Structure 1
């Protein structure tokens, strides 16, 4: 092949892949790491029937679309990975994750946080109408397991052995391999159907905390500040930036406003603030907009904003 033509085709491949997946993986850590698979709130970005400017900008520029909030832990030593939450963007997110693995298209397991639409409905792609998976390990709390077993169409996934439910308990450690372990941490949230957990992910002596949903930090019987001081990474609920952001009673959908979290974490050291990655943004949240004043403020104060495709060592 002509060298000039080869170069042009190579550049086109990179551009197309970047538009579709937001990242190409060339250099990754040799030790276990976290990859961000999505940052949006359950309903995605843009959101259905949204005529606001925040969504119009994505409709006009599709490359700005964000997948629903999820992370994965990748162990390049064993070529294993685990996804935390099965979102409606599961198909695209498993493809994004596959770039971090050798000859594998699926994770080695799925950890669910709770029964809201953005956190478990991706399981449908493992069913008869789609992949027809064979005993995909799904780790979930007791009420979440019962919900899946007793309600269709999820019950069919269990009956057909598309998924293999593994019951976990709060504050109980699950060993995944000789390096990686996971501990569910129960948090207060709108538990209409299931309990809600975050996860402490351990990589030997390093720790990453993942709490994409919680009502308010002060409703928790534990201290998020203490957790931050004792982990190496913290991916935290940042659904709304401030009060009054949506045209609904925000008491119906309580979350820590980013402004509240920033104030709560104000006295942390610069090193501790750098551990924090805000994630799970509603479509109205200005942290989704690169270069916005909200983004500048949060970054200037020493915090991080999770980005789709981001690789974070811990």
Structure 2
């Protein structure tokens, strides 16, 4: 919790214990933390540098905790000031970069990134650096964008940044595919499903894009695109795939549940997965339902919609708002 202001785990534990005790001998504190005395002493010296603890003048070897309201408040103030200065420096560098970008050299319009670690790191930079919207076409779920061994460092989208993702239908059949999709939807990401995406692609704020240069299984390499013309084409490619893909909906959310006579949460999950192209057996497996239960629910949906075929059910579900448009 206090790592954001520069404390490591050992220092935070020592400070919490010292605050609880008010003051303590090094040996007593080490016993309480179940740590060796030398390690406890290092933690206390670190707290002293941060102004969170001090040696007792009355009793040598005894340490006293600084009041959290004052000491932590000072650290927070310094950290905020440092962040504000960093933001100002970043804004200045961005203005200088835009000024230089007016007449960019041709070789500066694209950037080649090689190696799994470098590709994954660049992907995370694009994702965490997005300020408005992050868009992705993925062939697996979800780490295939970043590389074969590297998924996102933090699954939660940056607050205030929209996420739109198009996945391939077969991704839902992968182990944990439905669970990953459910997690993404729960985080507020918008997910659509298509039969096959033309290429892996990420676009951040329409100003940077990243596409793979190597086939799957080869040493990862990617192209980071800055060029306005190429960016416009890649953004157009994403939008075209997005328009033609089917919205994925799992669970009961939105207006469809609020109106009377609409399917329940499980019905909507079954319907959404069927519309995404999964078979009855696959839906039953992923939702941990019996095959006959799935078929019975589909029959009930058809009766509710007053239709006789599944094709008619799909059309009716879209018209009635049972699936996200």
Common fold by TM > 0.5: no
Q: Which has the higher helix share?
A: 2
TM score, norm. by length of structure 1: 0.29
Structure that is richer in strand per residue = 1
TM-score normalised per structure 2: 0.28
Greater Rg over alpha carbons, structure:
2
Higher relative contact order (CA 8 A, sep 6+): 1
